[in-house]
Structure 1
Amino acid sequence: MSSTTFGALGVPAPLVEILAQREITVPTPIQAATLPDSLAGRDVLGRGRTGSGKTMAFVLPLLTRLSRSTTQRQSRRPRALILAPTRELATQIEDALTPLAAPLGLTSRTVFGGVGQNPQVTALRKGVDIVVACPGRLEDLIGQGHVSLDAVEVTIIDEADHMADLGFLPAVRRLLDATPARGQRMLFSATLDAGIGVIAKRYLSNPVTHEADSAQSPVSTMAHHVLHVTPEGHGQVLLDLVAAPGRTVVFTRTKHRAKKLARQLNGQGVPAVELHGNLSQNARTRTMEAFHSGAARTLVATDIAARGIHVDDVALVIHADPPVEHKAYTHRSGRTARAGASGTVVTLMTDDQVRDVRDLTRKAGVKATTTRVHATHPLLQELAPGDRSFEGGFAAPVAQASPRQGSGQRRSGSGSGQGSRPASGQGQRRGGPGSGGSGANGGGGHRGGARPASGGARPTSSGRPASAGPRTGSARPARSAASFSEGARRTR
């Protein structure tokens, strides 16, 4: 962490005051490195790992420039553009931006596909200062004449490497061509691959390059573990970890696997939602709202969604299926240990995955501890402290169900395990009565709803509540081994 302050870096007093009100007082390394140059109007090429605070590194200079500019807000002609690769990331940039922009009298609007365009068109017609957009929908609206980029003073490309991974760079080039060359441009990325270098060379003018940390280095506070499991024990180990207190993100390789795994976890009494490319925008929004609120404490996601998940208090990331390549490992793992917090990353590995996982961690620059484990191995309690609970599967409100699903009570809902029927006998903490957990009628067990945030236990340094007592008994629902191991075998 930097020892300087935002004011010392040149952030205007009004913004410093707003940041202080939100208890943001100490710049992260990427912020401390880039802010002096970006606030001075320089083009900036910034590299920093995911979760390092890149959003605030570009939001602050953008707002500073617009608040000092003499230009006025105009219909269909935004003054600033932020390009993001995913809808989730665009939404979260907007969430970070709005509290800072509003006191300055600045407005913004997200623009992305998967939802109707009319609200976006209406906002653009009225005039907004900042557009936060995914490339595809923005190009559509430009083609329809609803927006022009000829008045853009600041252009920002966030997570440029993910733009490249998703094949967006041609669209990014076309959009940059539509912005004035005299404007300020900033590009932020976790890695600076060849495609990113081409963009930077063509569109950034004498950029200042800042690298807050190594392109592939894991966070120093992130602990990496590889758990060597049997195919039959894969599901049991996974279920034990996600049944612990706190938020967990579980990654799978395919959309089908994410959907199935979320449904299985809900069936076992662990409230879970899923996130992948097959979901509508409304379903994706409901999924993230459930995960943020704690109504679902486990999020099952595919690689495509990894960059869009920005939740600060995720203490555990589980690679249920090891990723195909090391960049995906880095991006997945970045969902924990955000903004200086500690976190744990677990990769489940079967015998036939040993060589692949070894190559993966080596290329990612990770020194992981490998342990052969089973469902009752004591290491699981160390990695995910606390009593295991199976309070019931997550069920979305019926009013939010898709019309095609009818009542949807026995289906997985809009791709997030919603509507899963709680398994009988759930709502009981592992260990049963007398072991520190609560029975179905006690204060600690909840059916189909959010567990109290505190869980009645003390937080630990990992962000998870400490166990209220020793983990005893084995009151785990019985179907875990067969159902989960079947999915594990099919991914290999």
Structure 2
Amino acid sequence: MTTFADFGLPAPVVRSLADQGITTPFPIQTASLGDTLAGKDVLGRGRTGSGKTLAFSLPVVTRLATSAAKAAAAGKPRRRAGRPRALVLCPTRELANQINATMEPLATTLGLKTTTIFGGVAQSRQVTALAGGVDVVIACPGRLEDLLGQKHLTLDDVEITVLDEADHMADLGFLPGVKRIMDRTPAVGQRLLFSATLDNGVDVLVKRYLKNPVTHSVDDAAAPPPQMTHHILAVSDADAKKDVVHALASGTGRRVLFTRTKHQAKKLAKQLTGAGVPAVDLHGNLGQGARERNLAAFSSGEVKVLVATDIAARGIHVDDVELVVHVDPPAEHKAYLHRSGRTARAGSGGDVVTVMLPEQRGDVRDLTRKAKISASPQPVAPGDATVAALVGEVAPYVKPAPAPAPQQPSRKGGQSRSRAPQKQGAQRQGASSQGTQQSGHRPAAAAGDGAARPARRRRRGGRGRGPRAGV
């Protein structure tokens, strides 16, 4: 059996992996490590959850440790401010954090520093980290281009560049920025590209930036893992769907529920929590702090249900997710596969459920055909044995935390301000409008039409020039 030590990795790295319980390489790692450690450009293809992050993290830290040792022997500094020696580009903040969580422990054992760069947060910490000197930058294209434009860093010293989830970066429209960034890295550096597919322009990146790349494809990226079991639950209407979804969320294990929109994700998480099933949401409307807190609560097991949009369909690795529920079937089959890939990762098993309304039957049929899923729709109702089997053991009811009491305005500020407009409005409207106010209707002049505004302008101007006529 092949082990990580067989590849000649630094001993501290092998020990770090063993401390994490990682001793046997996955197929993509076994296939690619010989070439990546030899300095060759590599194109790695594999489905989500196949172990690509570790496959490129190991050669990155190994190469940098070797070059750092040579620099030290020559009396040169190990690192310089604003001049990283490795660059990892990825499409989302969540993926950047997950890559860093994998790479940082390995880098630390070799005296290397990593940092993440992405938008949605203040850039001050990122600038400070760069100024202090880092070896590896793990970045999303947009913020990295901003900092390059502000001259907070240069890519002239980059020895190895990794493009991770290149097809997803293409889907999000990042390829022009990726090309601009890649053009600023040394042409003599090593390039690694990992992608599930080569469509949407990824093949252009391969031809333009990889030199005689060695391709390693260990599985059919378009096929679901064999350990994944698919179910299509056909419900009669929206009410039945709601009940079935709430039941599927109520088990004791981790589960991810995918919705089509941000609003639906937020609403469903709130409904589940109110029903005694603690849930957190993850979508684009959340700030970075809220994203990280919610993901941390789910990863730690404090909360067992994550309700998410497709922002979580890639790059979110949480161990032991036993169930993925497509509350809303995705628009296309690639999204289905990436969503489903949150379970059955790293050789584990898992179930994937698609909840289907009658009008969605045709779309779901096309979706599963393209995704090579053979599951047939099963008519279900709330309480059916099929649903109960997927739920498993039901988690205990958790009483929702009371909603915070609304803040009362201060007597000094809020109350005096709220009375003033009423008094001014009564003076303007006269006796006839007072009668209208008492009947519950607001006159047109008070509602802010064109007739009321000139009078207000005259009074404001009069106060500036002196006493008003008639006072």
TM superposition score normalised by structure 2: 0.82
1:30-41 map, 5 Å = 30-41=28-39
Whole-angstrom CA distance in 2 between matches of 1:84 and 1:392? 39
Trace 1:116-131 onto structure 2 (pairs within 5 A): 116-131=122-137
Show the 5 A alignment for 1:49-60. 49-60=47-58
Aligned residue number for residue 390 of structure 1: 397
The structure 2 residue matched to 1:347, chosen from 343, 354, 369, is: 354
Matched residues, percent identical?
A: 60
Quick check: 1:240–1:388 contact (8 Å CA) kept in 2?
A: no
User: What is the identity, as a one-letter code, of the residue corresponding to 1:155?
Assistant: T
Give 1:157's aligned residue.
163
Amino acid at match of 1:17: R
Aligned to 2:252: 245
For 2:315 and 2:263, how far apart are their aligned partners in 1? 19
Q: What corresponds to 1:454 in structure 2?
A: none
1:5 alignment counterpart: 3
1:220 equivalenced with 2:220 (yes/no): no
Hey, what's the Cα distance between the residues in 2 that align with 1:222 and 1:307? 17
What is the CA–CA distance in structure 2 between the aligned matches of 1:220 and 1:66, rounded to whole Å? 37
Listed one character per residue, the Cα deviations across residues 376-409 of structure 1 (whole Å, up to 9, x for unaligned) are 111122222112433134789x8xxxxxx979xx
Instruction: State the Cα deviation string for residues 135-177 of structure 1 (Å, max 9, x = none).
Output: 1110000000101011000100111111011111111111100
1:331 aligns with 2:338: yes
2:170–2:200 CA contact under 8 A, matched in 1 = no
Aligned partners of 1:39 and 1:64 also within 8 Å: yes
Q: State the shift of 1:261 in Å.
A: 1.0
Structure 2 unpaired stretches of 5+: 72-77, 409-471
2:117 paired with 1:111: yes
Deviations 1:105-146 (A, max 9, x none): 000111111111111101101100000111111000000010
Matched, 1:142 2:148: yes
Q: Which has the larger radius of gyration?
A: 2
3-state SS of paired residue (2:223)? coil
Residue 28 (structure 1) aligns with:
26
SS in 2 for 1:274: strand
- 1:313 aligns with 320
Please give the alpha-carbon distance, in whole angstroms, between the structure 2 residues aligned to 1:148 and 1:220.
44
Structure 1 distance, partners of 2:137, 2:367, is 37
Name the counterpart of 2:179.
173
- Give the Cα separation in 2 of the matches to 1:9 and 1:48: 21
Q: Which amino acid counterpart does residue 61 of structure 2 have in structure 1?
A: L
Contact 2:160 2:190 in 1 (8 A): yes
Kindly state the Cα deviation for residue 194 of structure 1 after the two structures are TM-superposed. 4.3
| Partner residue, 2:15 | 17
1:205 to partner: Cα distance: 0.6
1:235 counterpart = 2:233: no
373-382 or 197-206: bigger deviation: 373-382
Counterpart AA for 1:82: V
How far apart are residue 102 of structure 1 and its match? 0.7
Q: Give, in whole Å, the separation in 1 of the partners of 2:309 and 2:118.
A: 20
Structure-2 separation of matches of 1:395 and 1:370? 40
**Equivalent-residue separation in structure 1 for 2:395 and 2:235 (angstroms):** 20
More helix as a share of residues: 2
Q: Are 1:135 and 1:172, in contact at CA under 8 Å, matched by a contact in 2? A: yes
Equivalences for residues 353-372 of structure 1 within 5 A: 353-372=360-379
Figure out how many residues of one structure are paired with residues of the other and give that number: 398
TM-score (norm 1): 0.79
Opposite residue 325 of structure 1, the aligned amino acid is E
C-alpha distance in 2 between matches for 1:357 and 1:154:
42
Alignment of 1:291 with 2:298, yes or no, is: yes
- Local SS of the residue matching 1:308: coil
Distance 1:249 1:393, change over 3 A: farther
SS of the counterpart of 2:314?
Answer: helix
Q: How does 1:454-473 map to 2 (within 5 A)?
A: none
Partner of 1:263: 270
